[in-house]
């Protein structure tokens, strides 16, 4: 469910008509609904309220400081994968003891930064990494809470670029090696083992892979406890998918997911952490784009938009589907027309979709890509020297730009010509 609905024939974000934002900010532009974002966070929080837990929003899904502030003020923790994300979470007022640090390639500088600033836990992914962290933390006279990310060798049945829990993926330590790894960790200074971490992939639309992975984590918890380790925290990752196509069967909801967690690990008495990103932010954002031209082609018409793959890369990168809807509601019974919807970038990959049935559209009409809140603005670039797409946040009848579109002058002023090239 989201808060982007037609009212009197006009698509709104909560109480704000989207044409008003398009006219004021220009297009392309991302627009987020605060109510949707908070609703999804609360659904996860409630789904785990049978025991101690912390929902750590995966900052990489949509990392604008205003969004982090909304969630942080609501009590959310944060899952960060870089120093930049850690700094964003702190800038949003989230205390270090609600931030977990994940990722396969944390640098020594990043480790030092979060140790100085305060961190709830660091999820470790390899032997060289935990040896390095041990050295850094013990030199600083700190003992840092850690988990090890185990790779349970489970097929997440999702797109290959976002599956992370098979043994051939770069993530985590094979679960079969976990006992040896924990035994070594227990001997290293500067580290305090608190639990186990797992994350098997993103956009999972079936609960079975979660169930399988969590069952393996439960078995491992008992084994490691028998070996004398303290395992009182389980970080179960993110990954629950969203319905990108409204016409399709809906994927499982947070409540059902929470029940799977309870079934598989609830008896262990651990504090549960989860790291959802996409399900919290995905349907909380749309990308607005204007029609520049309608170009008649051989057997197909092209709808050429002012948004492109640099603004929303998911279709080009993952073959992802986004529903596209006009801001003016289509009249019942209107004749639909197949369009290839494309951007202006000089790559054939800059195609959002082919032969999509849409009502007839004309230049300057504005459309919304739905479900664009996660992995949208954060993956945007300035490819083709198109200034970074702006972001807008709506709450009730209020709205504000939360990241402005840079001017061309600002974009170019970041670069400089070396003196030795001049003359």
Ligand X SMILES: *Cc1c(COP(=O)(O)O)cnc(C)c1O
**Does residue 172 belong to the site contacting ligand X (CB under 6 A)?**
no
Neighbouring-strand partners of residue 174: 151
- Is residue 56 among the annotated active site residues? no
DSSP 8-state secondary structure symbol assigned to residue 225: H
Residue 44: name the closest of 261, 348, 330 by CA: 261
Nearer to ligand X, 287 or 361 (CB): 287
H or E segment and range at residue 46: helix 34-47
Which pair of structure tokens corresponds to residue 276? 């959802």
By CB under 6 A, name the one of 106, 229, 278, 386 that touches ligand X.
278
Residue 375 marked in a binding site: yes
Handedness of CA 217, 170, 210, 378 (dihedral sign): positive
CA atoms within 13 A on the CB side of 81: 15
Residue 278 marked in a binding site: yes
Residue 253: name the closest of 264, 244, 240 by CA: 240
Query: What's the closest the beta carbon of residue 199 comes to ligand X, in angstroms?
Result: 4
Answer for the pair 226, 303: CB distance below 8 angstroms, yes or no: no
Contact track, ligand X, 42-71, x by CB under 6 A: ----------------x-xx----------
CA angle in degrees (0–180, nearest 5) for 263-166-197: 50
By CB under 6 A, name the one of 14, 79, 153, 311 that touches ligand X.
79
Nearer to ligand X, 60 or 405 (CB): 60
| Span of 269-277, 292-300, 309-317, 395-403 interacting with ligand X by CB under 6 A | 269-277
Please report, for residues 176, 247, 317, the alpha-carbon distance to residue 360 in angstroms, rounded to integers and kept in the order given. 57, 21, 28
**Does residue 152 belong to the site contacting ligand X (CB under 6 A)?**
no
Residue 169 φ then ψ, to 5°: -80, 160
**Does residue 209 belong to the site contacting ligand X (CB under 6 A)?**
no
Query: What's the closest the beta carbon of residue 274 comes to ligand X, in angstroms?
Result: 8
**Does residue 77 belong to the site contacting ligand X (CB under 6 A)?**
no
**Does residue 151 belong to the site contacting ligand X (CB under 6 A)?**
no
Residue 233 marked in a binding site: no
Binding residues, by number, are 239, 275-278, 314, 318, 347, 375
Give contact residues for ligand X (rule: CB under 6 A). 58, 60-61, 79, 102, 199, 202, 237-239, 275-279, 374
Active-site residue numbers?
Answer: 346
């Amino acid at each position: 469910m989201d808060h982007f609905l037609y009212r009197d024939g006009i698509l709104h974000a909560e109480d704000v008509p989207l044409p008003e934002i398009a006219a004021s900010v220009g297009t392309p532009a991302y627009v987020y609904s605060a109510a949707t974002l908070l609703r999804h966070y609360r659904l996860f929080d409630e789904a785990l309220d049978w025991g101690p837990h912390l929902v750590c929003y995966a900052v990489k899904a949509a990392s604008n400081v205003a969004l982090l502030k909304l969630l942080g003020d609501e009590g959310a923790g944060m899952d960060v994968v870089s120093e930049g994300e850690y700094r964003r979470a702190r800038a949003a007022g989230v205390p270090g003891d609600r931030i977990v640090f994940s990722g396969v390639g944390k640098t020594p500088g990043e480790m030092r930064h979060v140790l100085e600033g305060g961190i709830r836990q660091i999820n470790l992914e390899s032997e060289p990494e935990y040896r390095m962290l041990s050295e850094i933390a013990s030199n600083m006279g700190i003992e840092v809470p850690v988990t090890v990310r185990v790779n349970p060798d489970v097929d997440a049945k999702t797109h290959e670029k976002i599956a992370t829990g098979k043994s051939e993926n770069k993530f985590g330590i094979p679960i079969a090696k976990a006992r040896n790894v924990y035994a070594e960790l227990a001997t290293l200074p500067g580290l305090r083992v608190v639990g186990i971490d797992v994350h098997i992939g993103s956009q999972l639309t079936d609960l079975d892979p979660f169930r399988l992975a969590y069952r393996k984590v439960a078995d491992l918890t008992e084994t490691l406890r028998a070996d004398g380790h303290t395992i009182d925290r389980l970080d179960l990752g993110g990954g629950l998918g969203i319905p990108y196509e409204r016409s399709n069967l809906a994927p499982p909801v947070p409540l059902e997911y929470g029940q799977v967690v309870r079934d598989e690990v609830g008896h262990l008495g651990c504090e549960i952490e989860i790291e959802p990103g996409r399900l919290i932010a995905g349907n909380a954002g749309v990308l607005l784009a204007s029609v520049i031209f309608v170009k008649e082609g051989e057997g197909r018409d092209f709808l050429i938009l002012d948004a492109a793959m640099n603004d929303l890369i998911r279709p080009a990168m993952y073959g992802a589907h986004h529903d596209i809807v006009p801001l003016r509601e289509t009249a019942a019974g209107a004749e639909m027309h197949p369009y290839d919807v494309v951007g202006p970038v000089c790559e054939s990959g800059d195609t959002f979709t082919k032969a999509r049935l849409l009502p007839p559209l004309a230049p300057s009409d504005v459309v919304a890509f739905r479900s664009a809140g996660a992995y949208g603005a954060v993956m945007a670039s300035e490819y083709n020297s198109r200034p970074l797409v702006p972001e807008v946040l709506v709450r009730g009848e209020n709205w504000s730009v939360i990241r402005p579109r840079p001017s061309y002058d600002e974009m170019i002023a970041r670069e400089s010509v070396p003196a030795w090239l001049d003359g």
